[in-house]
Amino acid sequence: MDRMDWTRPNWHCDSGPADTSADAALVYDDDVKAETDHLYERVKDVILPDEWPLHAPLIAAINRLKKERGTIILAHNYMTPEIFNCVGDLSGDSLALARMAADVEEDIIVQAGVHFMAETAKIMCPDKTVLIPDMRAGCSLAESITGEDVAAIKAKYPDYPIVTYVNTSAAVKAEADVCCTSGNAVQVVEWAAKEWGTDTVILIPDEFLARNVAANTDIRILTWKGACEVHERFTAEDVEALREGHPGVVVLTHPESPVDVVRAADYAGSTAGMAAWVKNNRPAKVVLLTECSMSDNVAVENPGVKFVRPCNLCPHMKRITLQNIYDALRYNRHEVEVDETTAARARISIQRMLDLPKPDSPAQFDKDRAPVEVELV
Ligand code: 13P
Ligand code: SF4
């Protein structure tokens, strides 16, 4: 399998003062080896043997601390493989993480993902402690729009429901009518149109997701000019070049990518959709045009499938490391708070999404549907 150097644990960032006495104990000794050998067996195709002794002491320490502290780690599909496979307790796409957060029993949740995911967990579990290992783990989509922007849109278009992607702040969710993720965006848009008795829905803030949804529904969509900095950079020419360079490769992409990329690919869906597609179809050779860690994590589940590796790193997701997860557990940091007035309103938007029927399989975007006009609000 092709490999890239970014799987090395070099994404350390400032996570506050280190406890040197505790860190001194974090060595790869026989006890740690015995505790973690079964985990290395799982990730041995995506983590080199000489890298493992760097990860294993932190993995063992995190797994011990989790038990002692009644903590659960929710891990997004874009976490690096040593986090996703070796310390994450529950994992999935944004929709699955929102559902899981609502049902967690443990008192402390560590979000191995970005800030909006931690906020969603806090909104759904206001009585629990929600920690994010690095407060700077943001998202270009979440940063593209504010609660005030949404209030202004609502004042301008009072008759149209506002569907907001979960990749937004609590303040944005509070001003919107209902949330969606890439795993259910068409379903939510069609529900909102019916519920509000309108043929027009405002879907914010991802322009590309909105354009891909618009091509997959008869509802008229208005949107906002936000974009995911990972997915907006893929082009239809990239897909063409991949097909030329790797004959027979199957191309999977995410609906946060431009419409012509989705149309050039073989499949488009959420991260969970892409993972399920590989598992169900077991292609000989596949490329996941998305964040880089996806290929490693899907590869772990699908030995024998060859992964072609052009990908884009999400700098926000990559702020989360084993070291700062360990620090989060040891020092109870960094606690995510959402004021109760905002949380109560945002909870309505999230709950409306979670109350919709759960589809049997992740939604697929029909790549053969022609693009349609989408206006910006
Ligand atoms: P999903 O996991 O919901 O597909 O979202 C991808 C993403 O970009 C999350 O930040
Ligand atoms: Fe945001 Fe894109 Fe990173 Fe997801 S991958 S957190 S949408 S910037």
Count CB atoms within 10 A of the CB of residue 54.
16
Q: Which of 96, 58, 62, 61 is nearest to 77 (CA)?
A: 96
Residue 269 lies in a domain: yes
Does one domain contain both 187 and 222?
Answer: yes
pLDDT of residue 15: 41
pLDDT of residue 24: 57
Does one domain contain both 124 and 173?
Answer: no
CATH number for position 79:
3.40.50.10800
Does one domain contain both 48 and 129?
Answer: yes
Does one domain contain both 26 and 101?
Answer: yes
Ligand 1 near 94 CB (within 6 A) = yes
CA distance 187 to 375: 20
Backbone angles phi, psi at 75, to 5 degrees: -120, 125
CA distance 55 to 124: 32
Residue 251 lies in a domain: yes
pLDDT of residue 320: 98
Q: Which ligand is nearest to the CA of 292?
A: 2
- Report how far ligand 1's centroid is from the alpha carbon of 305 (Å): 23
- Ligand 2 atom nearest to 229, measured from its CA: 8
CA distance 1 to 59: 25
- Report how far ligand 1's centroid is from the alpha carbon of 254 (Å): 8
Does one domain contain both 208 and 352?
Answer: yes
Does one domain contain both 281 and 223?
Answer: no
- Report how far ligand 2's centroid is from the alpha carbon of 234 (Å): 14
Residue 9 lies in a domain: no
- Among 77, 79, 320, name the best residue to mutate to test ligand 1's pocket (greatest count of ligand atoms within 8 A of Cβ): 77
Does one domain contain both 39 and 125?
Answer: yes
Residue 218 lies in a domain: yes
CA distance 129 to 209: 32
Does one domain contain both 146 and 133?
Answer: no
- Report how far ligand 2's centroid is from the alpha carbon of 64 (Å): 30
- Report how far ligand 2's centroid is from the alpha carbon of 139 (Å): 5
- Report how far ligand 1's centroid is from the alpha carbon of 182 (Å): 7
**Residue 292 is which amino acid?**
C
User: Nearest C-alpha to atom 4 of ligand 1 is from which residue?
Assistant: 270
Ligand 1 near 120 CB (within 6 A) = no
202: helix, strand or coil: strand
Sheet with 200-204, edge to edge strand ranges: 178-180, 162-165, 200-204, 220-223, 375-376
- Ligand 1 atom nearest to 141, measured from its CA: 10
Residue 152 lies in a domain: yes
CA distance 198 to 190: 10
- Among 314, 319, 320, name the best residue to mutate to test ligand 2's pocket (greatest count of ligand atoms within 8 A of Cβ): 314
Write the secondary structure of 99-111 as one string of H (helix), E (strand) and C (coil).
HHHHHCCCCEEEE
Count CB atoms within 10 A of the CB of residue 18.
12
- Ligand 1 atom nearest to 166, measured from its CA: 3
Ligand 2 near 172 CB (within 6 A) = no
- Report how far ligand 2's centroid is from the alpha carbon of 251 (Å): 20
CA distance 168 to 209: 14
Q: The domain containing residue 64 runs over which residues?
A: 15-139+316-331
CA distance 135 to 119: 11
Does one domain contain both 218 and 345?
Answer: yes
The series of mean pLDDT values per 10 residues for the chain, 377 residues long, is 32 42 78 97 97 98 96 97 97 90 92 97 95 98 98 98 98 98 95 98 98 97 98 97 97 97 96 96 97 96 94 96 97 97 98 92 87 93
Residue 199 lies in a domain: yes
Residue 209 lies in a domain: yes
Q: DSSP string spanning 129-160?
A: EEE-S-TT---TTGGG--HHHHHHHHHH-TTS
Structural domain count, the chain? 3
Ligand 2 near 292 CB (within 6 A) = no
Ligand 2 near 132 CB (within 6 A) = no
User: Nearest C-alpha to atom 6 of ligand 2 is from which residue?
Assistant: 139
Does one domain contain both 40 and 133?
Answer: yes
Ligand 2 near 270 CB (within 6 A) = no
- Among 117, 167, 231, name the best residue to mutate to test ligand 1's pocket (greatest count of ligand atoms within 8 A of Cβ): 167
Half-sphere exposure of residue 274, counting CA atoms within 13 Å on the CB side? 32
Does one domain contain both 34 and 76?
Answer: yes
For residue 334, whether the previous peptide bond is cis, meaning omega lies within 30 degrees of 0, is yes
For residue 205, whether the previous peptide bond is cis, meaning omega lies within 30 degrees of 0, is yes
Residue 51 lies in a domain: yes
pLDDT of residue 361: 81
8 A C-beta contact, residue 240 and residue 264: yes
- Ligand 2 atom nearest to 116, measured from its CA: 6
CA 285 to chain centre: 24
pLDDT of residue 192: 98
CA distance 349 to 248: 42
Ligand 2 near 291 CB (within 6 A) = yes
Helix%, strand%, coil% for the chain, nearest 5: 45, 15, 40
Does one domain contain both 215 and 256?
Answer: no
